[in-house]
């Protein structure tokens, strides 16, 4: 088995190092990841400038692009064979609910899925560099082993969120649906020492809809959340309503 590992926190992040090391028990691992943090890059591609690749050591490639760029570079150029699995992570911070649309971690798995390769996005619910990444990596190995053995349904990739706790404190994994949150955005404007305006994109504290069956609900109770995602964003219920319009 050949497994490609990527992320959006950068190739030196502790999460990707723990993940790559743990996955070696399942096969050959090649890491292709951004050369620096690319969080919230979403499903973006670099189209208007060239990409550069740096081989840091055997099997570890840093790309000066987005997570989606890394998946493309790995599959079409850097890996000696087409990977059997792409695993993205371990992200610093959970990727739950509506946030999956911003996430570079999730987008990398999405890109692999578009290419017909089974893919998993893995996130740990912490922003600390010393979180329980080793415990999370073992969860990722268990999920990866199942995917390699059984495959995934068509047009499906997995979004796995793991509580930041020791392995013996984790509750059993649950198959969940994508949750929702009430989000209020805001722009924080400041003035630099030279009198010029600059801005930070921020938000109010979100109201998470802690509903049974959702990724939020599972993670809040120390369960590993496994959400099957796909790319079809069509709102089929709305199609029925809109078909009644007179256009």
Give residue-wise pLDDT tens across range 76-91: 999 999 999 999 999 9
Which pLDDT does position 37 carry in this prediction?
95
Burial of 33 from C-beta contacts in 10 A (0-12 / 13-18 / 19+): buried
CATH superfamily of 2-180+210-242: Survival protein SurE-like phosphatase/nucleotidase (3.40.1210.10)
Per-residue pLDDT of the chain (247 residues; tens, 9 = 90+): 999 999 999 999 999 999 999 999 999 999 999 999 999 899 999 999 999 999 999 999 999 999 999 999 999 999 999 999 999 999 999 999 999 999 999 999 999 999 999 999 999 999 887 899 999 999 999 999 999 999 999 999 999 999 999 999 999 999 999 998 876 667 888 999 999 999 988 766 666 788 999 999 999 999 999 999 999 999 999 998 999 998 8
Q: Give the angle subtended at the CA of 88 by the CAs of 164 and 176, to the nearest 5°.
A: 60
87, 24 Cβ separation under 8 angstroms: no
**Comparing C-alpha atoms, which of 180, 182, 181, 176 is closest to residue 161?**
176
pLDDT tens column, 209-244: 889 999 999 999 999 999 999 999 999 999 989 999
List strand residue ranges (DSSP E) for 93-247, in order. Answer: 119-124, 157-162, 171-175, 181-182, 185-191, 197-203, 207-208, 223-229
Answer for the pair 1, 148: CB distance below 8 angstroms, yes or no. yes
Hey, CA dihedral for 40, 42, 48, 49, is it positive or negative? Answer: positive
Three-state SS for 180? coil
pLDDT given for residue 205 in this prediction: 65
pLDDT number for residue 184: 67
pLDDT at position 208 is 74
- HSE-CB of 27 using CA atoms within 13 angstroms: 17
DSSP 8-state secondary structure symbol assigned to residue 61 = E
Are 174 and 224 in contact by the 8 Å Cβ rule? The answer is yes
- What is the predicted pLDDT for the residue at 247? 83
């Amino acid at each position: 088995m050949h497994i490609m590992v990527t992320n959006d926190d950068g190739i030196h992040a502790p999460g990707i190092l723990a993940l790559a090391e743990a996955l070696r028990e399942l096969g050959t691992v090649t890491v292709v990841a951004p050369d620096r943090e690319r969080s919230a890059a979403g499903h973006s591609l670099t189209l208007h400038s060239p990409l550069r690749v740096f081989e840091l050591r055997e099997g570890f490639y840093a790309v000066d692009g987005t997570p989606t760029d890394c998946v493309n570079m790995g599959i079409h150029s850097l890996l000696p064979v087409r990977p059997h699995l792409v695993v993205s992570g371990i992200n610093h911070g959970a990727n739950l609910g509506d946030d999956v649309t911003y996430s570079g971690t999730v987008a990398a798995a999405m890109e692999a899925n578009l290419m017909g390769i089974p893919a998993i996005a893995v996130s740990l619910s912490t922003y600390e560099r010393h979180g329980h990444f080793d415990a999370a990596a073992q969860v990722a190995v268990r999920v990866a082993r199942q995917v390699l053995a059984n495959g995934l349904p068509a047009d499906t990739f997995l979004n796995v969120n793991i509580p930041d706790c020791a392995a013996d404190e984790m509750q059993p994994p649950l198959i969940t649906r994508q949750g929702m949150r009430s989000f209020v955005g805001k722009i924080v404007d400041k003035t630099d020492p030279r009198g010029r305006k600059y801005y930070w994109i921020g938000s109010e504290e979100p109201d998470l809809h802690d509903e049974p069956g959702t990724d939020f609900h599972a993670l809040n109770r120390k369960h590993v959340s496994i959400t099957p995602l796909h790319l079809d964003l069509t709102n089929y219920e709305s199609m029925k309503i809109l078909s009644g319009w007179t256009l």
